[in-house]
Each structure stands twice: as C-alpha cells, then as structure tokens.
C-alpha cells in the first residue's frame, strides 16, 4: 500500500510522501529482520547430522542388502554407484540449494519460485503425511521386540506349548519360532485383508509410546530436534560397529561376506538391476518429501551446501555398504548354522534308517553316504527320499522379513542373545525415529504451527491404529508399496524440470553464486539439464508399464491352518511382497 501511494502521481503533499518513505523503510526493515530471525542450526555439523539421521534409515539395513543379494552381490554395487553419481547427488544438491536460498518450507519455497508450483510443495507434504501414518508402526514393532528381549529365554527362540501341554504348537513347529512370533504373536495376523478383527492392544500401546516420543522431540522445533540428531545419527553406527566385530567372528560369517563381494557380472545386462539401483539411491536419500528443503532453510545464507550434499550422499551410500557387510556376516552365520544342522539331521536319518554304526557317518561324509545308499539300497532309500532336505545357501528376504525374522533367528543362536537383541532393536528404533523426526514430521509440521504439533501427532496416531489390527500388516504393505513410489518419482521429476526450465538454469546458477561465491561447474549443469530428467522420466515410464503388465493382482497372506504363504486375489493390489521365509 505504501509503495502504491508513493508512486501515485496525484499524491502531492511532500510531508505525506516523506512519512510514507519512512514507513516503507520500516516495513522493509521488519521483513528483513523477520527473515533473519528465523531459527538456524547451531553449526554446519548439526545440519549434516540431521540430514544423515534423515537419509540413513531402515532401508539401508534391510532394503539394500536384499537388492545386493538378489542381483548377485558385488555385481549390484557397480550400477548402484553409477546411479549415485548420475541421479542421487545432483538431485540432493538441488533441494539443499532451494531451501537455503528461499529460507522457506517446501510449499513456500516452490510458491516463491512460481505461484503455479505451490501444488508441488503440497504433494510433498501429502506424501510425507502418508509415510508418517505407517512408518511409526515399524518403531512400534521395534518397541515390542525390545520389551520382549529382557527375558531369560527369547520368546522367538522356541515354540510355545500346546493347550494340552503335551508338546509344542504344530503351527509353530511346521514354520519356525521366529516366524510364529512375528506373524502370530507380534501381528496376530489374519488370513486375509478382508478379515479385519480388532486391535492388537500390545501393538496399539507401543504405537502410542512411539508417537509420544516423537511429540516430545519435536515440540520445541529446530532447537530440540537439532540436539536429538547428535544421538540418533551416531549411535546406530556404534551398534553397527559392535555387530560387525561380533558378526565377523561368528562361525561361517566370512562365507556371507565373500558372497557379497563376489560379482555376478551377468547381472549388469539385466535392466531390472539398473532400475533397482536407481530407485534405491532415490528413496534412500529421501528426495521429494520436502524435508531436505525444510532442513536447509534453517542454514545461514553462505553455508557451503555443495560440499555437504556430496558428503551426506557418500555417507548414506557408505552406510548401505557397511550395513550390508554386517548383514551378510549374519547371513553367512545363519546359512552355515542351518547347513550344518541340516547335515546333522540327515546323518541321524541315515543312521536310523539303515542301522549303521554311530562312527560310520560324519558331517563331512554324509553327502557321499547319501549317494552310496541311493545306489546300493534304492528301495530303502526311496522311503526316506522325501525327507532329505535341499541344501540352499540362504533365501533372500526383504523388509520386515529381514529385520524381524532373519536377524531374530540369527540372534537367538548367539551367545548372550538377550544383549545382542537389545542392541539390535535399539538401533532399529534410532534409525526409524531419526528418519521420522529429522524428515517426515518436519515437512508436515512446517505447514502447520509448531504449537499444533500435538494435534498432528494425535491425528497420525488415531489413523495409525488401523495398522495394529489383525489385517493391519496387509495395509502396511499397501502403503509401503504405493504411498510414495510413483508419487515421489513424479515429484522429483517436476522439481528438476521446474528449476531448470521454469525458474531457469541461469537464474539458479546466479543464486548459487550469490550463496557460495562461485557458479556450479559443468557436471552439475549437465546432470540437471539432461541426464537426471531423462533418467527419472525413464524410471517413471518403466513403473507405469510394469504396473499395467503386472497381470492378475495378488498378495501373499499368512494361512495359520496351512502355515504357508497362500496367494489370494484382491482388486488393485499388484504383487504385494510380504515374504514369509518358509522352513521345512
């Protein structure tokens, strides 16, 4: 209004014009002071730790090792590192630069670039809200396992007795104690998504505890969260180092590590390997949620975000490789333990079936004896052939199967299993809480007032109770598969297009020069203008084609009567991947 009056030609009173000039200067000073009064990180290190706590999460511990195993160990590392250079670091750089320049949250930053881009920020917030609803359920499961770790015998180490107390429950014996505890005790899962059932009160209370902790950590905004990240970003590394030292000393651990670093080069010609490498980089860094823009908006104007983008991306990818070494050492121990147990069971089977002396068959020559008995006593051997187990290395398991079944099964076979269990599930909690506190909640909270943090947490808690019902794990899988995959891919594609071709690459270069004192080099400009958009567009098209050609939609359900994964049809759910690592 003051600017309009100053420029109005019919305004002729010099005194009025002078007072309005003073008023305009005061307004300008207030705006500048308001912008500078925005809270800031105490130091660049605090910002880096917040980004590390956000980017390094559960996906580094369970998703990356699964992909690494599925695509031939070391053969997956080659496309993974290439995608980090071509996709991950350049897009990470863009989000940090936008936040630091605009000093606004996701919605405000994109509206400052163009009023028509406000929907892009809203899309980021909505996607973050989706993940807030279900991500804390993982923390509730971790609390559940942590509380059950303080028992003299871990509850997933042995099966419960049946109602007659004459033996163990058949469902548990046919599957395994770890599977039974996860699906029946932790989830009390139904046999179908249509079979809802009531809430699991234990899980509901654990979810309540998880949201109370989130609220206590975010209620004071950037100051309280900035202090928390010092712990949530560093302690998981302490636990991983302890687990690495313990893991590599386990019997057979080096078999797993060797498998990880033995490349299967034929995987390099498999397009799916490159697609999975690109998407793992994309989701591991947490691009598209608006959280990185919110984080960097609390930086000082001349903060060196270019160096930080490279450092944080390398730390994130290095953590994935480091966690995989720990995971594959556990894989090696578990596989060796199962292999030797299998040999011992077959040795006893042959001794009892053919009435041989105890010393005649050992674990070292049992396979030779099986071959010999099959030739010399074909009829007798045929009677036990169905009981001979196939000796496999280890089945690939991802997601909750890896975190809560494979690791639990390995932990129960370790000395001082309670100690290792407590350390492991504290680490999972910190990884989950770090991602939630440092990222997802922030992008949502910046839309609302921080004083309304309690109401937002309460809303997420009430909606999250649906995941603690008997069919909640099926809904969890739907959210995990579909809440963010395509939406984040589309959001980040629009982000890079908006920066380069709506805001303008030259203008963006000048903004970077204003903050850093130099313009970005040719590598960044080539990635932003051509390589990253084409790669993101290709990934988006691939997902659309893969979804259309997916065939009959199915999901895997736990059948307590058959104790196996039975395939069921359900509309609009495409190949949900709730693995249930079966044992014979």
Q: Where are the domains of the chain?
A: 46-145+161-578
55 is in an annotated binding site: yes
* Class of residue 206 by CB neighbours under 10 A (exposed 0-12, middle 13-18, buried 19+): buried
The closest of 100, 96, 98 to 111, measured between CA atoms, is: 98
The domain made up of 46-145+161-578 is a member of CATH 1.20.1740:
yes
Rounded to whole angstroms, how far apart are CA atoms 370 and 350?
8
Cβ contact 87:282 at 8 Å: yes
Of 112-121, 220-229, 421-430, 519-528, the least confident: 220-229
The mean pLDDT value for 263-267 works out to 79
Q: How far is CA 448 from the centre of its chain?
A: 26
Cα angle value 420/244/150 (rounded, 5°) = 5
Sign of the CA dihedral with 230 first, then 233, 234, and 239 last: positive
In degrees and rounded to multiples of 5, residue 96 shows phi and psi of -65, -40
Name the band, by pLDDT with cuts 50, 70 and 90, for residue 498: very high
The closest of 136, 103, 135, 109 to 122, measured between CA atoms, is: 109
- pLDDT reported for residue 11: 40
Rounded to whole angstroms, how far apart are CA atoms 580 and 570?
19
Helix 472-482 / helix 118-147 crossing angle, nearest 10 deg: 140
Q: Residues 163-212: pLDDT tens digits?
A: 787 778 878 877 778 888 998 899 888 888 888 778 899 999 999 999 99
Of 108-122, 262-276, 454-468, 512-526, the least confident: 262-276
- pLDDT reported for residue 223: 57
Rounded to whole angstroms, how far apart are CA atoms 330 and 406?
9
The mean pLDDT value for 357-365 works out to 71
In degrees and rounded to multiples of 5, residue 566 shows phi and psi of -105, 135
**pLDDT, greater one: 565 or 526:** 526
Rounded to whole angstroms, how far apart are CA atoms 43 and 222?
12
The mean pLDDT value for 508-521 works out to 93
Q: What percent of the chain has pLDDT over 70?
A: 79
- pLDDT reported for residue 494: 92
The closest of 413, 103, 514, 560 to 580, measured between CA atoms, is: 560
- pLDDT reported for residue 563: 55
* Class of residue 172 by CB neighbours under 10 A (exposed 0-12, middle 13-18, buried 19+): buried
557 is in an annotated binding site: no
Question: Highest mean pLDDT range out of 59-68, 221-230, 323-332, 460-469?
Answer: 460-469
Question: Highest mean pLDDT range out of 37-46, 237-246, 301-310?
Answer: 301-310
Question: Highest mean pLDDT range out of 27-36, 102-111, 163-172?
Answer: 102-111
**pLDDT, greater one: 143 or 224:** 143
316 is in an annotated binding site: yes
The mean pLDDT value for 503-514 works out to 93
Region of residue 288 (left: phi > 0; alpha: psi -120 to 50; beta: else): left
What average pLDDT does the chain have? 77
β-strands 564-569, 554-559 pairing? antiparallel
**pLDDT, greater one: 535 or 70:** 535
317 is in an annotated binding site: no
Whether 31 shows a pLDDT value over 80: the answer reads no
Cα angle value 169/171/175 (rounded, 5°) = 120
Residue 465 DSSP symbol: G
Whether 4 shows a pLDDT value over 70: the answer reads no
The mean pLDDT value for 124-152 works out to 88
Q: Is 19 helix (H, G, I), strand (E, B) or coil?
A: helix
Residue 388 DSSP symbol: P
Rounded to whole angstroms, how far apart are CA atoms 564 and 323?
30
Query: How many other C-beta atoms are found inside a 10 Å radius of the C-beta of residue 390?
Result: 6
The mean pLDDT value for 32-44 works out to 62
431 is in an annotated binding site: yes
60 is in an annotated binding site: yes
Q: Is 377 helix (H, G, I), strand (E, B) or coil?
A: coil
Rounded to whole angstroms, how far apart are CA atoms 498 and 518?
22
**pLDDT, greater one: 271 or 444:** 271
Q: What percent of the chain has pLDDT over 90?
A: 19
Sign of the CA dihedral with 358 first, then 362, 363, and 369 last: negative
Whether 250 shows a pLDDT value over 70: the answer reads yes
Rounded to whole angstroms, how far apart are CA atoms 143 and 426?
8
Biggest alpha carbon–alpha carbon distance for the chain:
118
Rounded to whole angstroms, how far apart are CA atoms 137 and 155?
21
Q: If residue 557 lies in a helix (H) or strand (E), which one and from where to where?
A: strand 554-559
The mean pLDDT value for 80-95 works out to 91
Q: If residue 544 lies in a helix (H) or strand (E), which one and from where to where?
A: helix 532-548
The mean pLDDT value for 349-369 works out to 73
């Amino acid at each position: 209004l003051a600017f309009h009056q100053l420029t109005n030609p019919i305004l002729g009173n010099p005194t009025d014009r002078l007072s309005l000039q003073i008023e305009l200067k005061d307004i300008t000073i207030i705006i500048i002071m308001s912008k500078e009064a925005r809270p800031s990180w105490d130091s660049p290190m605090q910002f880096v730790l917040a980004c590390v706590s956000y980017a390094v999460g559960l996906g580094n511990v369970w998703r990356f090792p699964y992909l690494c195993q599925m695509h031939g160990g070391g053969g997956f590392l080659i496309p993974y590192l290439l995608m980090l250079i071509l996709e991950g670091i350049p897009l990470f750089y863009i989000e940090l630069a936008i936040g630091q320049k605009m000093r606004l949250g996701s919605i405000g930053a994109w509206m400052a670039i163009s009023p028509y881009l406000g929907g892009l920020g809203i899309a980021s917030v909505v996607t973050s809200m989706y993940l807030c609803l279900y991500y804390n359920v993982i923390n509730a499961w971790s609390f559940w396992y942590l509380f059950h770790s303080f028992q003299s015998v871990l509850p997933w180490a042995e099966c419960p007795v049946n109602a007659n107390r004459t033996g163990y429950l058949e469902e548990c014996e046919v599957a395994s104690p770890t599977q039974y505890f996860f699906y029946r005790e932790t989830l009390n899962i139904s046999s179908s998504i249509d079979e809802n059932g009531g809430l699991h009160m234990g899980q509901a209370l654990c979810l309540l505890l998880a949201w109370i902790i989130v609220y206590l950590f975010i209620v004071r905004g950037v100051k309280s969260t900035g202090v928390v990240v010092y712990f949530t970003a560093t302690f998981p590394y302490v636990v991983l180092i302890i687990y690495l030292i313990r893991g590599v000393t386990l019997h057979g651990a080096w078999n797993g590590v060797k498998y990880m670093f033995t490349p299967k080069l034929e995987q390099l010609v498999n397009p799916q390997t490159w697609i999975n490498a690109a998407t793992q980089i994309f989701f591991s860094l947490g691009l598209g949620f608006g959280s990185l823009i919110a984080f960097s908006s609390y930086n000082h104007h001349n903060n060196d975000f270019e160096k930080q983008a490279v450092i944080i991306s390398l730390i994130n990818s290095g953590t994935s490789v480091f966690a995989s070494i720990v995971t594959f050492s556990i894989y090696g121990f578990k596989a060796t333990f199962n292999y030797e147990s299998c040999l011992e069971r077959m040795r006893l089977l042959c001794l009892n079936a053919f009435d041989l002396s105890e010393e005649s068959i050992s674990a070292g020559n049992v396979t030779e004896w099986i071959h010999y008995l099959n030739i010399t006593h074909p009829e007798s051997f045929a009677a036990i052939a169905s009981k001979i187990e196939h000796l496999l290395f280890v089945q690939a398991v991802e997601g909750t199967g890896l975190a809560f079944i494979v690791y639990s099964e390995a932990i129960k076979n370790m000395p001082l299993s309670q100690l290792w269990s407590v350390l492991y599930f504290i680490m999972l909690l910190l990884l989950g809480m770090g991602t939630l506190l440092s990222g997802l909640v922030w992008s949502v909270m910046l839309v609302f007032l921080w004083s309304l943090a309690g109401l937002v947490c309460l809303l997420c808690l009430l909606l999250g109770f649906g995941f603690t019902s008997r069919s909640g794990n099926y809904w969890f899988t739907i959210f995990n598969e579909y809440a963010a995959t395509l939406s984040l891919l589309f959001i980040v594609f629009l982000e890079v297009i908006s920066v380069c071709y709506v805001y303008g690459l030259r203008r963006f270069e000048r903004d970077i020069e204003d903050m850093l004192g130099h313009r970005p080099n040719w590598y960044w400009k080539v990635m932003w203008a051509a390589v990253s958009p084409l790669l993101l567009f290709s990934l988006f098209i691939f997902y659309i084609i893969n979804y259309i050609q997916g065939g009959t939609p199915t999901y895997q359900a736990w059948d307590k009567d058959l104790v196996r994964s039975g395939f069921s049809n359900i509309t609009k759910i495409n190949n949900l991947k709730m693995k249930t690592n079966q044992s014979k």
